[in-house]
């Protein structure tokens, strides 16, 4: 569904990451953005058939290509990717959603999961794992899920978190500081006519995990 010229623009941007070149090639960027917006609109419609997204609009999903360079040693003004987040509330919801990252040379991927939890959220996650890890394992150890998302991504503690035994049977899960999943796409896959369908396959597989994590991280006892 995406066009080859969208990936080519991003490739050229990497080699010419400056404002002068970007302004000279503004029409190419506008075309690439419109290409991603078209894909986003399609994905919103498809996801909305099985998940309430509220009044989610395309503009709520797409991330800015401009980088925040105020506190970064890297002063390149633009990102080398185009990215979207699909979920109720869009990219700024604070919820776990479906993140699609478009970047040439095999760096495109679909992902989702616990990326930057608060201290309280991490405590709730660990409490749930201690109480009933099987519910999570029944989601992420399903054959089809593991085939598409074979590895847990993200950082872990080196030792058991405070308050948990070093021989806890679910120690690997308890040590997680992050827990997200990614499936990479080749450039050939990204520009294939079946790309949107392939992304939807991944989103459907991710949904039970995202639902579980959103409930755990947002749930508070009354």
For the entire predicted model, the pTM comes to 0.94
- Report pLDDT for 222: 38
**Bridge partner residues of 110 (DSSP):** 100, 183
- Report pLDDT for 75: 83
What is the Cβ-side half-sphere exposure of residue 165, based on CA atoms within 13 angstroms?
A: 5
Whether the CB-CB separation of 181 and 209 falls below 8 Å is answered with yes
What 3-state class would DSSP assign to 60?
helix
Q: How many whole angstroms from its chain centre is CA 211?
A: 14
The number of domains in the chain is 1
- Report pLDDT for 70: 77
* CATH number of domain containing 54: 3.30.930
- Report pLDDT for 46: 98
- Stretches in the chain below the pLDDT threshold 70: 219-222
- Report pLDDT for 72: 78
- Report pLDDT for 10: 98
> What's the domain range around 96?
4-218
How many angstroms separate the CA atoms of 196 and 191, rounded? 10
**pLDDT tens string 139-183:** 999 999 999 999 999 999 999 999 999 999 999 999 999 999 999
- Report pLDDT for 151: 96
Q: How many whole angstroms from its chain centre is CA 210?
A: 11
- Report pLDDT for 219: 61
- Report pLDDT for 146: 97
Question: What's the order of all strands across the beta sheet hosting 108-114?
Answer: 82-86, 98-102, 108-114, 179-185
């Amino acid at each position: 569904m995406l066009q080859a010229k969208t990936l080519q623009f991003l490739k050229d941007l990497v080699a010419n990451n400056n404002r002068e070149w970007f302004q000279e090639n503004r029409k190419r960027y506008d075309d690439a953005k419109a290409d991603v917006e078209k894909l986003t609109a399609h994905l919103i419609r498809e996801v909305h058939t099985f998940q309430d997204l509220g009044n989610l609009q395309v503009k709520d999903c797409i991330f800015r290509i401009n980088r925040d360079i105020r506190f970064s040693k890297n002063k390149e003004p633009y990102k080398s990717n185009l990215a979207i987040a699909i979920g109720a509330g869009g990219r700024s919801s604070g919820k776990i959603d479906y993140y699609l990252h478009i970047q040439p040379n095999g760096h495109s991927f679909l992902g989702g999961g616990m990326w930057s939890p608060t201290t309280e959220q991490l405590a709730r996650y660990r409490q749930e794992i201690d109480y009933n890890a099987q519910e999570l394992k029944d989601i992420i150890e399903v054959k089809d899920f593991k085939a598409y998302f074979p590895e847990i991504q993200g950082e872990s503690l080196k030792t058991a978190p405070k308050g948990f035994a070093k021989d806890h049977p679910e120690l690997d899960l308890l040590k997680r500081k992050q827990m997200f999943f990614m499936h990479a796409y080749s450039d050939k896959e990204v520009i294939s006519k079946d790309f949107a369908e392939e992304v939807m396959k991944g989103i459907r597989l991710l949904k039970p995990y995202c639902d579980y994590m959103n409930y755990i991280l947002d749930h508070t006892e009354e």
